[in-house]
Structure 1
Amino acid sequence: MSGQATVLVVDDEIRSLESLKRVLCDEFEVICARDAGEARRVLESEIVHAILCDQRMQYETGVDFLKDVRKTWPDPVRMIISGYSDSEDIIAGINEAGIYQYIAKPWHPDRLLDIVRGAVQLFMLQKETETAGIDIKLTPERAQRVVTEKRGAARKLYEFDRIVHAPDSPLSEVIELGKRAAEFDISVLITGESGTGKELLARAIHYGSARSGKAFVVENCGALPDELLESELFGCKKGAFTGAYQDRIGLFEVADGGTIFLDEIGETSPAFQVKLLRVLQESEIRPLGAQRVRKVDVRVVAATNRDLEAEVRAGRFRRDLYYRLAAFPLHMPALRERPMDVPLIAAKVLADVAKSYGRNVAGFATGALNRMRHYDWPGNVRELQNEIQRMVVLATEDRLQEGDLSPRVRQGGEPIQLKPVRNGCATLKTNIEALERHMISEALDRHGGNISRVAGELGLSRVGLRNKLGRYDLRKGLADEV
C-alpha cells in the first residue's frame, strides 16, 4: 500500500521491542506495547493492520491474547513470535487464535520483513474482496488470485471502446476527453442526469489509467447520513459512535493506490464537505475515534446530477471543494440528446437480457425500434434497460414488437411538430390540427390501421374518422377501409 500500514508489536522485553521496531519502522508505522493490557488500549484507539506478538509474556501468553483479539478485533492479521517450539502452542495458535504465521527466534530481518509485508497485503486484499462482495477468508495466495482475476475481468469489461455509441453521437467527444483524463492523475467531475452512465465512464477512466492494477471502489454519498458516510469513507474505531460495533477500514484506505468514485457528491452536507476537502488537500484520513492520521494515495472521480456551479452560487456547495473536484469536468449527455445511440444500446441490452433470461429473441421489429428512437427516455439508459427486460418477458415472437412496449413508450413517440406561421407564431387552429393529426397517426400505428379500433379509442364515428383521414392524408395502409 502507498501509505504506511500500522503494525502493533507486543513483547515484555524492551530489547526485543526495540529490535523489532528498528527492522520494521522504515516500511511500517510501528506501535509498541509492553504487555497485553497496553496492547488492548492501543487496539481500542487505533486502526491496526497486523499484530506481531511474543508468545511467552509475564501476565498472558501471546496465543491467549490473540484469541481474545480475534473475538474483539477480528480484522488485524495476527502473528506469533517465539523462541520456543512447543507444538501444542503452535496448534492452539493456528486453530484458536487464527494465527497467520508462527515466527521462530532468532529471526532474520529480511525474512521478518517479508512475513509482515505478506500480512499487510493479506489485510488489504481481504478488505478489497469484502468490498467486492466476496466475504470469505482467504490465504494470501488465493486472495491475490481472486483480486487479480477480478481486476483483469473488469479491465476488459470497462474499456472505453465498450461504451456503446454511434460515431456521430455527442458521447464520442466525451469518451475522447475521458481517454485523455485517464492518462493523467487528475481529479474528474462527471455531471449528467441519473442513468446516463456516469459510473461506467468513471470505471473506464480508472481501468484506462496507470492505477488500473489497484482497487476501484464506489460510494453513493447521497445514501448515508454524515456520520455513517464518514465511517464508510474514512474508517472508524469500535464505539466511535452509536452503531459502530467494530473497527472499520475506510474506503479511502481500501482504494489506496487506486481510484474512489464518489457518486451523488452534490447531496453531501456543508459539514461533510469540509472534512472531504481536508482529505483531498492533505492526502490523509483520520478514522472516527482514532488518534492518528493515515496517509493515502487515491484518485478521486466524483459524479452528480446537480448543477454544482449553481449550487456553489447558492451557497450549498463549497467553492474550494468544487474546484478541487472539477479539475477535469466531463458531462454525460442524456439519451434524448443522442437518439442515434438508442438502436445500438438496445441491441446490446437485448443480447444480454435474452441470454440471462434464456429467451430466443433475435431483435426488434421496425415499428418497435422507431417508437424507442422517438421516445425521450427521461430515465435514460437505465429506463431503456428496464423497458427491454419487460419486453423480453412479454415477447411471444422471435422479434420484439411494438405491442410489447409499455404504454408510456408507445404513447410517448414522435413529438408533436407544430407548423410555425406568421413569423414563427402558430395560430390556435394550426395547433389544434397538428395535435389532432398526431393523435390519429399514433392511434393508427398502435392498432395497425384498424379504423374501428382507432375510432373507438378516439371517440369518433367511422365516418367522422374517415373524413379526418382524408383531410390529413392518412389513408395509406389502412386495414379495413371498406
Structure 2
Amino acid sequence: MQTQKRPTVLCVDDEIRSLETLERTLDEEFDVLTASSAEDALKILEDSRVEAILCDQRMPGVTGVEFLTEVRRRWPEPARLILSGYTDSEDIIRGLNDAGIYQYITKPWHPDNLLMVVRNACKLCQLQNENELLTMEMRLTSEQVERNINHKKALLKSGFKMDEIRRSENSPLNKLCEQAARFSPFDVSVLITGPSGTGKELFARALHYNSLRADKPFVVENCGAMPDELLASELFGHKKGSFTGAISDHMGMFEQADGGTIFLDEIGEITPAFQVKLLRVLQEREVRPLGDFQRRKVDVRVIASTNRDLEEEVRAGRFRQDLYFRLAEVTLTLPELAQRKVDIPMLAQGFLDKAMAEFDKPVKGFTGEALACMQSYCWPGNVRELQNEVRRMLVLSDGDYLGADLLSPRVLRAAPQEEGGELELLAGLDGSLKDRIETLEKRILRETLIRNRWNKSQASRELGLSRVGLRAKLERYQLERTTVAQSPDKHQ
C-alpha cells in the first residue's frame, strides 16, 4: 500500500543549536530541510517544494520578515511562520502586511505547541493547493460545458434546417419550405395553420433555428383548454401569493424566451378575454406578472399555430381581428398527410430510425407491400398517426422487414389503387348492386391475405372457403402477391 508523502518544512536560523532543536522536534512528522542563512534558504527553495517555512526573525544581513517577503513574491504557496524572542508590534504589523505571515511563534516555544502550529500551516498549504487545482478544474470543466452546449446548439440547428425536413423531391412541402427559408431570418410573427398532427411545431422550431435568434431560447406553450388565470400565469408569470397555490415567484414564458422565440400552440382556443391580454403584450412588448405592479420589457418573436380557420373565426366574431393581424404577418398552411402521400416512405423510414434507436431493435426496413398500403391509407391523424403506426409495427415485428401483415386493420383496408372510383361504388354514387358487392369482396379477400401473409390455407379457413374456391376468386379478381422491392435506402 502506498504511504502518504510527509509534508516538507524548511527551517531557517543562523544559530546552529536552535536549528538542530527545530529539526529534532519536527522530524517525527515532517521532512525537515535546514538553512543557516537567507541565501542558503533561497537556493533550497529553487530546487525543493515545501509546505511551510519556519524562520527566525533576528538574522544577520536580512530579517526574517524581509526574507519571507521575498519568498512571498517568488513562492507564494508555502505557509510562512516567524520565530522571535521579541514582540515588536512594528515587526508584527510589517510581517502581516508585507510577508503574509501565517503565525508568529514566540520564544521559548513548547514542542507540542510548535508541532500543532506547523501541522496546521502545512494543512493550510495543502488546502490552498487543492483549491487552486479545483479552481483550474472548474475553469476547464466550464469550458468543456460551454463547448458541449455549443455543439448541441449546432446539432439542433443542423437538425432543423429547412432542407432537413423529410420530404420527397416532388413533395408539396418543397415550395412551403422555400418560402419559410426566405422569411425565417426576418423578425416577423408567423401563424402556422393546418390539421392536428401535420408537424406545425416542427416548422416552428425550423423557423427559430434558421433565424437570428437561434442561439436564444425556444419555448412552447399549448394554449388549448387552459383556464385564463393559469394560462396568464404560465405566459406572463406571477408573484408569490398572487392567487391560491402561488407559493413562490414564477417567471413566465415570455420572460424565459426573452431574446428568443415563443411558440403558442392552439392559439385559436384562447378566450376573447385572454385575447385582449395577449394583444396588449404583443403591442407593448412588455408583460406584467400576476400580482406585480411592475411591467417588464421582453424581446420575443411569436410563432403561433392553430387547426382552426382563424379568418372564419374573425368573421364569426370569436377571434379579434387586430390580434389575428398581429399574429399573422406571415401565414404558413401545412397540408394533410393525405395530400403528400409521396412523402410517406421517407417519413416512415425517419420514424423507424428513431424507434429502432429508442427500442434498441434493429430491422432492415419496410416491404414494398407495406409501403404501398401505407400510401393508400388516408391518415386522418396525419404525421402523428403515421409515427404511432410505425412504432407499433416495430414492436410487433419478428423479422428483418416490417411487412403489411403488421399494419393495423384500418390501414390494411385501404388496398392499393382502390381509393378512387371503386370507393365511390361502395358509397352508392354509381354502379349496380353486383358491382358494389364484388368491390367489397375483393377488398375483403386482399385484406385477409395480407394479414395472413398470403398463406392461402389460413385465409381460406378464416373466410370459410375451400382452397379451390379461394383460388377461383383470386383468379377472378386477378389478385396475386406481386414481387415487391424493400424500402429504399434512407440515405438516398
Bin of the TM-score, shorter chain as denominator length: 0.5 to 0.7
Report the Cα distance in structure 1 between the residues aligned to 2:316 and 2:142, rounded to whole angstroms.
Answer: 50
Report the Cα distance in structure 1 between the residues aligned to 2:267 and 2:149, rounded to whole angstroms.
Answer: 28
When the two chains are superposed, the root-mean-square deviation of aligned CA atoms in Å is 2.7
2:221 is matched with: 219
2:389 is matched with: 387
User: For the pair shown, which has the larger CA radius of gyration, 1 or 2?
Assistant: 2
Q: Structure 1 length normalisation: TM-score? A: 0.65
1:472 to 474, 477, 491: 477
**In the TM superposition, what whole-angstrom CA distance separates every residue of 1:95-118 from its partner, at most 9, and x where no partner exists?**
xxxxxxxxxxxxxxxxxxxxxxxx
Partner SS state of residue 189, structure 1:
strand
Partner SS state of residue 251, structure 2:
coil
Aligned-partner residue type, residue 284 of structure 1: E
Report the Cα distance in structure 2 between the residues aligned to 1:168 and 1:408, rounded to whole angstroms.
Answer: 27
Partner SS state of residue 262, structure 1:
strand
Shift of the 148–466 alpha-carbon distance from structure 1 to 2, 3 Å rule, reads: closer
Shift of the 431–407 alpha-carbon distance from structure 1 to 2, 3 Å rule, reads: closer
CA contact (8 A) 1:418 1:426 kept: no
CA contact (8 A) 1:231 1:287 kept: yes
State the Cα distance separating 1:302 from its structure 2 match: 0.2
**In the TM superposition, what whole-angstrom CA distance separates every residue of 1:281-325 from its partner, at most 9, and x where no partner exists?**
111111111112111111100011112122222222112111111
1:319 is matched with: 321
Aligned-partner residue type, residue 418 of structure 1: G
Partner SS state of residue 195, structure 2:
coil
1:21 is matched with: none
1:439 to 444, 453, 460: 444
CA contact (8 A) 2:237 2:250 kept: yes
2:206 is matched with: 204
1:403 to 405, 410, 415: 405
Aligned-partner residue type, residue 227 of structure 1: E
CA contact (8 A) 1:417 1:434 kept: no
**In the TM superposition, what whole-angstrom CA distance separates every residue of 1:198-231 from its partner, at most 9, and x where no partner exists?**
1111111111111112111111111521111111
State the Cα distance separating 1:408 from its structure 2 match: 2.8
Unmatched runs of 5 consecutive residues or more in structure 1: 1-138
Report the Cα distance in structure 1 between the residues aligned to 2:404 and 2:392, rounded to whole angstroms.
Answer: 13
Shift of the 210–409 alpha-carbon distance from structure 1 to 2, 3 Å rule, reads: same
Shift of the 202–476 alpha-carbon distance from structure 1 to 2, 3 Å rule, reads: closer
State the Cα distance separating 1:147 from its structure 2 match: 5.5
2:308 to 275, 286, 306: 306
Structure having greater relative contact order (Cα 8 Å, sep ≥ 6): 1
Report the Cα distance in structure 1 between the residues aligned to 2:344 and 2:360, rounded to whole angstroms.
Answer: 23
Partner SS state of residue 168, structure 1:
coil
Query: Once the two structures are aligned, what percentage of the paired residues are identical?
Result: 55
State the Cα distance separating 1:449 from its structure 2 match: 4.0
Q: Structure 2 length normalisation: TM-score? A: 0.63
**In the TM superposition, what whole-angstrom CA distance separates every residue of 1:3-49 from its partner, at most 9, and x where no partner exists?**
xxxxxxxxxxxxxxxxxxxxxxxxxxxxxxxxxxxxxxxxxxxxxxx
Moved more, 440-449 or 302-311: 440-449
Report the Cα distance in structure 1 between the residues aligned to 2:481 and 2:181, rounded to whole angstroms.
Answer: 50
Moved more, 403-412 or 357-366: 403-412
Question: How many aligned residue pairs are there?
Answer: 338
State the Cα distance separating 1:459 from its structure 2 match: 4.6
Shift of the 241–324 alpha-carbon distance from structure 1 to 2, 3 Å rule, reads: same
2:170 is matched with: 168
Report the Cα distance in structure 2 between the residues aligned to 1:325 and 1:463, rounded to whole angstroms.
Answer: 65
Aligned-partner residue type, residue 249 of structure 1: M
Aligned-partner residue type, residue 437 of structure 1: K
CA contact (8 A) 2:405 2:450 kept: no
State the Cα distance separating 1:444 from its structure 2 match: 3.0
Partner SS state of residue 214, structure 2:
coil
CA contact (8 A) 1:418 1:431 kept: no
Report the Cα distance in structure 1 between the residues aligned to 2:323 and 2:464, rounded to whole angstroms.
Answer: 58
